């Protein structure tokens, strides 16, 4: 199993995944809400949109923008069960365990925190 740092390095090598960045609006939202609230949102999104065994709109359930977690999900290949399977070998057709959900949230938050700290927000 790879570490968060290993996953982030691997994701940066992807032309598609590396193009995602927080916008200034995302950064302002994080400043207003705080990282604890963003983590809660991430956990809620993962539980509702990724964790079920069957997702009727899999591959289309995560918007490309509108919330820092959505951007992170695409940057980290945690946007749908197809990407989770391709990048992390998480099987489709079964519910995610609580440990898998926790690890996904930790990865998303690590990406958000790094992106937030580097100040590379886009307009």
Mean pLDDT of the 33-38 span: 98
Smallest CA-to-CA distance from 41 within 17, 71, 8 is with 71
56-96 pLDDT per residue, tens: 888 788 988 899 999 999 999 999 999 999 999 999 999 99
What are the sequence ranges of the domains in the chain?
A: 4-118
High-pLDDT (> 70) share of the chain, %: 95
pLDDT score, position 1? 66
Q: Which residues contact 83 (CB under 8 A, 6 or more apart)?
A: 77
pLDDT score, position 46? 97
pLDDT score, position 42? 98
- CA angle, 83 then 98 then 57, to 5°: 40
pLDDT score, position 23? 94
DSSP assignment of 17-50 equals GGG---BHHHHHHHHHH-HHHHHHHHHHHHHHHT
């Amino acid at each position: 199993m790879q570490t968060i740092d290993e996953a982030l390095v691997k994701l940066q090598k992807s032309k598609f995944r590396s193009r995602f960045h927080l916008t200034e609006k995302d950064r302002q939202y994080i400043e207003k809400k705080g990282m604890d609230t963003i983590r809660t949102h991430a956990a809620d999104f993962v539980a509702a949109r990724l964790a079920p065994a069957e997702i009727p709109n899999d591959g289309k359930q995560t918007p490309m923008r509108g919330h820092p977690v959505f951007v992170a999900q695409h940057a980290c290949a945690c946007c749908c069960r197809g990407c989770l399977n391709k990048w992390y070998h998480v099987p489709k057709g079964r519910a995610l365990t609580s440990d898998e959900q926790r690890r996904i949230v930790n990865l998303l938050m690590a990406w958000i925190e790094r992106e937030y700290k580097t100040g590379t927000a886009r307009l």
